[in-house]
Chain A
Amino acid sequence: MESRSPWYLAYRRLRRNRVALSFGALFVAIALFALAAPLWASDVAHTTPNATHTTETVEVGGEQREVVDREGGPIGPLWLGAGGRFFLGADGHLGRDEMVRLMYGGRTSLFVGVTAALITVLLATLLGLLSGYYRGWVDGLIARVLDVVWAFPVTLLGAALGLALALGGLRIGPIVISGDSVWVPILIIGFVYAPYVTRPVRGEVLALREQEFVEAAVSQGAGPLRIMFGELLPNVLSTLIVFFAISVANSMLLESMLSFLGVGVQPPNTSWGTMIAEGFELITSSPLLTVLPGAMLLLTVLAVNVFADGLRDALDPRAKRRLEVHAGQTEPEGTAA
């Protein structure tokens, strides 16, 4: 009988999950769309995301049209009518190219989502390992600190921190982050979501540290660091991968909420959240300005969540089974053939 690694088995299970793979492909397509922003901006739209075209005109079918009319109304989508310029129209009173901003906004949103999720998972891993391995007062201390963070609703805590840090910036020892840096929302989001991942990681570590392979490592004289990072971490990796994917989606959503409230990504940087906020002012006259970044955000979050779901099923098929049993969809474990 040929032996297969758990990773290979997970890969095979994932490959069979067509829905998850389709949404994974959608996410890759969105990421490529965002990554292509500089190419589109320079070679097609001939502008930059922040360049204003307030008083300019654009030729459409031999006719000169104002990018922004005298009452501040932006031009609508021109598709390829002006050679790709203002493909999705202008973004508002400033007459910036909506398509270019949508692509650059996607880069920021994805960057914030992925980086904040990385910070969340790294923090959660460290705290979960320490807490689950040492137990006792270390566990108690970490748990109480996390309880404090947990006591605040995520959006409220994020908005409060965002407001405070957007004004004064952040200084951690020699590292100084200015208030308008994109790292401010990244660090905030990474921090506020950490407790939500730390708890399950800690639970898993608590269970794992009683396993025989840990006892074997102890009997071989392995120290705490080696046990935590050499024995326990590889065994919680599949959980962390799933949480990372879910955190990307959650982080992007929180970023857009904070940016909508004006305490997330700061101008001149643009993200889908800031675009929704800017477009909201013209929601009745130019609804596309809100709908487009909103739809991109929705698709990305959906793609990441469905893919993360598939990833979880692939990495931990028992989890799916447990969920199904919990939902009453199949018979309890052990009764099936």
Chain B
Amino acid sequence: MIKITEKSIDVKKIIDTVSSLSAGALNVFIGTVRNNANGKNVLWLEYEAYETMAVSQIRKIIEDASHRWPLLGWAVSHRIGTLKPGEVSVVVAVSTPHRKDSFEACQFIIDSVKEIAPIWKKEVFEDGEEWISARPEMAFKA
């Protein structure tokens, strides 16, 4: 299951979709919104996605992962819209026969999603806002 959603992510539901009777391991990564960046308070984050491309790129990542690890179940769900500190922004879950594969596959998937999925976030502070990583060695706007 691949989902880009404005609604809050139900982690339990995702675990249910990847669970399998032949699995001996189920690994879940939960990304959450931090309340600080470079010593400044983050009020909220604005997430944006190029949805059709995000889904197709994540599908490729899953295909890659399926060739490398024996995935029995998998799910990737990413929030978009306005998220406050503490909220879940992304969940990756995989199930495999043994635990080592589940750790490796889960890490590979979240790392790849962060690297290639066309999803962006903007941090909003008390005194300004900034698209993350957009500019080289970005100076903080005071």
- A pairs with B: no
